Amino acid sequence: MLRVVFLGPPGSGKGSQAKYVIDEHGVDHISTGELLRSAVNEGTSLGNQIADIMQQGGLVPDQIVLQLISDYLDSSDLSKGFLFDGFPRNSIQAEQLQVILAERNVPLSFVLHLQVDPTAVVKRLSGRRNCSNCGRIYNIYFDPPQVEGQCDDCGSAGELFQRADDNEASIRNRLDVYESETAPLLEFYENAELLVTVDASGDLAEVAESVRQVILTELAKT
């Protein structure tokens, strides 16, 4: 059973790799962003608290996010396995997640760390383009649309645009922030003997193959 956390800097292709794994293994995708949004939409008392915090521009406290995750796990079919993407972000959250998972007897199988060299990330992110119609993300270097200038998903021949923060200086800044935030997190999982690092500098297909191999190896251990 695959129960995994995906970690990787912006531009590591984490979202794409996570999607492959979810499609291939049928695991549940646990996104804290989505949990927060749906709590707000459902208007639960926790959801209303979150809406208030967000309206004031604040960060939702760890305790609330962890509560949402606990509730979600309690209402889910855990036998499918799951993949956390975008959570935890720091070692305190990681520690608490370990407790929540242990209580439900669903410990992590491993933590996948997609490692990329910063120069490659800069190239990757500066090649990123969004479909102005449906929002799908392409990369002019690594993952271009099949027909140039036309979105594969929605067929729109509208503009593929570059987000303002996909320029080199802002990318380097995001990488620095990511590194300082996640270094302790990596150390935490390393000490817990859960961390598996994959070189994610190649193209999406190459990295997907490495990820597939890691998953096979890790699942064979259990």
Residues carrying an active site annotation: 14, 89, 128, 163, 174
End-to-end alpha carbon distance in the chain = 8
Q: Is 151 in the site for Zn ion (CB under 5 A)?
A: yes
Between CA 184 and CA 182 the distance in angstroms is 5
> Tokens at residue 204, please?
């999406």
Q: Which is nearer to Zn ion, 102 or 147 (CB)?
A: 147
Q: Is 130 in the site for Zn ion (CB under 5 A)?
A: no
Contact 118, 202 (CB under 8 A): no
- Minimum distance, C-beta of residue 152 to Zn ion, in the bound complex (Å): 8
Q: Is 131 in the site for Zn ion (CB under 5 A)?
A: yes
Contact 151, 133 (CB under 8 A): yes
Q: Is 157 in the site for Zn ion (CB under 5 A)?
A: no
**Block residue for tokens 């593929």:** 160
CB atoms within 10 A of CB 93: 18
Strands 195-199 and 3-7, by their bridges, are: unpaired
Helix boundaries (H) for 75-167: 91-103, 118-126
**List 44, 96, 115, 133, residue binding Zn ion (CB under 5 A):** 133
**Block residue for tokens 């292709």:** 13
Binding mask 24-43 for Zn ion (x = CB under 5 A): --------------------
Instruction: State the number of binding residues for Zn ion (CB under 5 A).
Output: 8
- Amino acid occupying residue 209: E
Q: Is 136 in the site for Zn ion (CB under 5 A)?
A: yes
Q: Is 99 in the site for Zn ion (CB under 5 A)?
A: no
Stretch that binds Zn ion, among 57-65, 88-96, 146-154, 214-222 (CB under 5 A): 146-154
Q: Which is nearer to Zn ion, 125 or 160 (CB)?
A: 160
Interacting residues toward Zn ion by CB under 5 A = 131, 133-134, 136, 151, 153-154, 156
